[in-house]
Amino acid sequence: MTAMLLPAALVAAAVMLMLAVEDGGGRAEAAIGMQQPLKLKYQYYRRYTSCKYAEEFVKHQVTLYWNRDKTITAKLLRLLYSDCFVTGCDASILLDGPDSEKMAHQNARLGGFDLIDKIKTVMESRCPGVVSCADILNLATRDAVHLAGGPSYPLFTGRRDGMTSRASTVDLPSASISSKAALAYFESKTLDVLDMATLLGAHAIGTTDCSNVVDRLYNFNKTGKPDPTMSKEFADQLRKTCPPPSNMKGQQAKSPWVYLNPDSGPSYQLGNSYYKRALAYQSVLGVDQQLLYNNDTRELTSEYGDESPWKNGFEGWRRSLTLSMNRMGNINVLTGNSTGEIRRSCRYTNQRG
Ligand SMILES: *[C@@H]1O[C@H](CO)[C@@H](O)[C@H](O)[C@H]1NC(C)=O
Ligand SMILES: *[C@@H]1O[C@H](CO)[C@@H](O)[C@H](O)[C@H]1NC(C)=O
Ligand SMILES: *[C@@H]1O[C@H](CO)[C@@H](O)[C@H](O)[C@H]1NC(C)=O
């Protein structure tokens, strides 16, 4: 895939997005007979509900929060991924409970729940019972991405909230997964190689526990050696922050952490340095470095990382993100009156709350 072809790939992906949304609705309509088509809609709240300004309310709250705490963008991106990839974008990640998804070990370091709660409180006072937690999470992430220098993309809405959340359903893969396994995982969630290369760009900001990196530094894939795909200089640097796991035993203190992308670090600004680092064998997570080990994701990484003669990689990524966030936001959504609910509190189903 060359720089010239990227727009064509985007058009194809856009058409697939439409087809997925239309077809999902059509099938469901045929199955249920007289009901309205079940699908997400553009500007659902403004056009089809009494809560005309739902998107504006969300944006206002996200902006207030972001002005105080710029880490919110990385937290929401992670939260949305953890929701959509596990049983679909149904806000199941937001439910409290001793055995809920947020209790799974992969979700130990999630954040951003306080902002979602705040937005829900505002919504319930402005237009009670109308705006779902699943849509709030998707919209808030969109606005936080824009504030951090990403695109402000149109987002289809009309999701309803799921009624169950079980830790045992959480199948989020390890951070050291191979490109082959990562692609199989994305494809199992109806996403493709363009989505994978693009959505991983969310790792341009945020932090991760050393526990997600130490295998690459000391004992990669049980070989007893460092990951051969990591630059030696960079590995030396990371070892200073992340000691071998055996040295950490008995320490009850919080596990050390590193920035997912040392180039953006504390600025929390989205950019294409994430892709440039992958090209220089300086990715922090194994899954990020693996972008170079699949022909399609390597081409996209080189486009996004400005190796094409046009040097418009960040703009290309911003456009792809618009599509891929909608495609991720479309995974197994609950729509229409006959399924799910509009939770009163994002932490509890209405029956329990
Ligand atoms: C869903 O319920 C609302 C409120 O009861 C109603 O106004 C709307 O027409 C219903 N929509 C469908 C598709 O049944
Ligand atoms: C780790 O080793 C297994 C088995 O040899 C292999 O299938 C897998 O791709 C390796 N993982 C990585 C990230 O190279
Ligand atoms: C990837 O590209 C290389 C070099 O162009 C080629 O030899 C190889 O067959 C390609 N692999 C796949 C799976 O297409």
Same domain, 94 and 149: yes
Task: Name the domain count of the chain.
Answer: 2
Q: What is the CATH number of the domain that holds 318?
A: 1.10.420.10
Same domain, 49 and 141: yes
Span of 101-105, 113-117, 198-202, 242-246 with lowest mean pLDDT: 242-246
50: containing domain:
20-31+38-172
Span of 181-185, 280-284, 334-338 with lowest mean pLDDT: 334-338
Beta bridge pairs of residue 259 = 207
Query: Which residues are part of the catalytic machinery?
Result: 78
**DSSP helix/strand/coil, 250:** coil
Atom of ligand 1 nearest to the CA of 336: 13
- Please work out whether the CB of residue 337 comes within 6 Å of at least one atom of ligand 1: yes
Same domain, 132 and 225: no
Same domain, 52 and 99: yes
Element (H, E) at 273: helix 273-279
pLDDT, residue 17, reads 44
- Please work out whether the CB of residue 223 comes within 6 Å of at least one atom of ligand 2: no
DSSP 102: G
Cα 244 to averaged position of ligand 2 atoms, centre (Å): 21
Classify the phi-psi angles of 281: left when phi > 0, otherwise alpha if psi is within -120 to 50, otherwise beta: left
Mean pLDDT estimate for the chain? 89
| CA gap 16, 324 in Å, rounded | 11
- DSSP-derived pairing of the beta strands 257-259 and 41-42: unpaired
The verdict on residue 2 lying in a domain is no
- Of 133, 149, 172, which closes a domain? 172
**DSSP helix/strand/coil, 41:** strand
| CA gap 120, 142 in Å, rounded | 16
Same domain, 217 and 96: no
Cα 4 to averaged position of ligand 3 atoms, centre (Å): 20
- pLDDT tier at 146, thresholds 50, 70, 90: very high
pLDDT tens-digit profile of 157-176?
999 999 999 999 999 999 99
Among the bound ligands, the one closest to the CA of 180: 2
The verdict on residue 109 lying in a domain is yes
Dihedral in degrees, nearest 10, Cα atoms 81, 115, 39, 321: -50
Same domain, 56 and 112: yes
Same domain, 58 and 117: yes
- Please work out whether the CB of residue 221 comes within 6 Å of at least one atom of ligand 2: yes
- pLDDT tier at 198, thresholds 50, 70, 90: very high
Cα 350 to averaged position of ligand 1 atoms, centre (Å): 18
The verdict on residue 336 lying in a domain is no
Atom of ligand 1 nearest to the CA of 35: 13
Q: Which residues are annotated as a binding site?
A: 83, 86, 88, 90, 92, 101, 173, 203, 263
Same domain, 151 and 216: no
The verdict on residue 10 lying in a domain is no
Among the bound ligands, the one closest to the CA of 285: 2
- DSSP-derived pairing of the beta strands 207-209 and 41-42: unpaired
- Please work out whether the CB of residue 37 comes within 6 Å of at least one atom of ligand 1: no
97-126 burial code (b ≥16 CB/10 A, e <16) = beebbbebebbeebebbebbbebbebbbee
Q: Does pLDDT of 23 surpass 60? A: no
Q: What is the CATH number of the domain that holds 92?
A: 1.10.520.10
Q: Does pLDDT of 310 surpass 80? A: no
Element (H, E) at 6: helix 6-32
Same domain, 208 and 162: no
Cα 40 to averaged position of ligand 1 atoms, centre (Å): 15
Same domain, 147 and 45: yes
DSSP 210: G
- Please work out whether the CB of residue 338 comes within 6 Å of at least one atom of ligand 1: no
- Please work out whether the CB of residue 178 comes within 6 Å of at least one atom of ligand 2: yes
